Amino acid sequence: MSVGDLLNADLAVGGRLAGAAVRASLGSTRLLVLRTLGSAVFVGTEVVGLVLLLDRFGRLGGWTTGEVVLLLGLAQVGLGLGMLLGDTLEPPVFSLLIREGRLDSVLTRPVPVLLWVMTSDVQARELGRASAGLVAALWGAQLAGVSASPLTLSVALLAVVCCTAVVVAILVFGASATFFTVEGSELVNAFTYGGATLSAYPMQIYGSVVRAVFLWLVPLGLTVYVPALTLLDRTGPPGVPASLLAVTPVATLAFGGVAALAWRAGLRHYTGTGS
């Protein structure tokens, strides 16, 4: 069987597992609707607070209200989709899978372990966050005068895809650390929710160290802020030109590759204990 056939088979299995998880999450429709609305309202409240703040103080780092709302919207779409795909990788949830023995049971099955974990419990409520983020991004783009074109749509799609991938990779790092220690949840939250919040604002308001961390170490800023520079035809702070857009997918793939290596190392450690 070729590599392509194996990949197609894995994707087919993942699709069936994800479908089953979504159907299970839809079992309590009322609860799902309330949680989804809650996620959307949370993002909406953040947007309203931002608009009121900028209405009082004017620009933020030289950026207008519409430009910052666009940034925030893109970040929330990426975070929402990333959490939708990787919620079960959060250390508290993943450690529960280990303690209950559910991970041990899947190790004996011909299913990719990471794919099984990611599709074992899809949290559809995160669609509320992603949907509200999309509305905010569209509104911000309108306020900022960004016109729809093949280029702008492609750049926005690149931002969302790369941001989603980086969020999932951060969660993979967190799950990998859980194989060694259960004390990793706060650090993961700092880089997922904290990173998404940080990348929702212009990078020039942060110091050089923070910019370096979230551009090159954990490239959430690279996946949101740099594409926004292109969308808005803006120049970034020193060392962060809009031309870095070409680096965004490369950095995302590199970060994801390191996360995959960390996962393999953690899984080898876990199976090596005789669990």
Q: Give the DSSP per-residue string, the chain.
A: --HHHHHHHHHHHHHHHHHHHHHHHTTSHHHHHHHHHHHHHHHHHHHHHHHHHHHHH--BTTB-HHHHHHHHHHHHHHHHHHHHHHGGGSHHHHHHHHHTTHHHHHHTSSS-HHHHHHHSS--TTHHHHHHHHHHHHHHHHHHHTPPP-HHHHHHHHHHHHHHHHHHHHHHHHHHHHHTT-STTHHHHHHHHHHHHHHHTS-GGGS-HHHHHIIIIISTHHHHHHHHHHHHHT---STT--GGGGGGHHHHHHHHHHHHHHHHHHHHHHHHHTT-
- pLDDT (0 to 100) of residue 87: 86
- pLDDT under 50 in the chain at which residues? 3-4, 6-7, 9-11, 13-14, 18, 25-26
Residue 26, token pair as written in the block: 């839809």
- pLDDT (0 to 100) of residue 195: 82
What is the CB neighbour count within 10 angstroms for residue 181?
9
CA distances from 178 to 95, 115, 135, 218 (A): 6, 17, 35, 19
- pLDDT (0 to 100) of residue 104: 84
- pLDDT (0 to 100) of residue 106: 81
* CA separation for the pair 236, 203 (Å, rounded): 8
Residue 91 CA to its chain's centroid (Å): 16
Whole-model pTM: value is 0.85
- pLDDT tens profile 170-184: 999 988 988 887 665
Residue 81, token pair as written in the block: 């989709």
- pLDDT (0 to 100) of residue 5: 53
Residue 121 dihedral angles phi and psi, to the nearest 5°: -155, 85
- pLDDT tens profile 181-196: 766 566 777 787 788 8
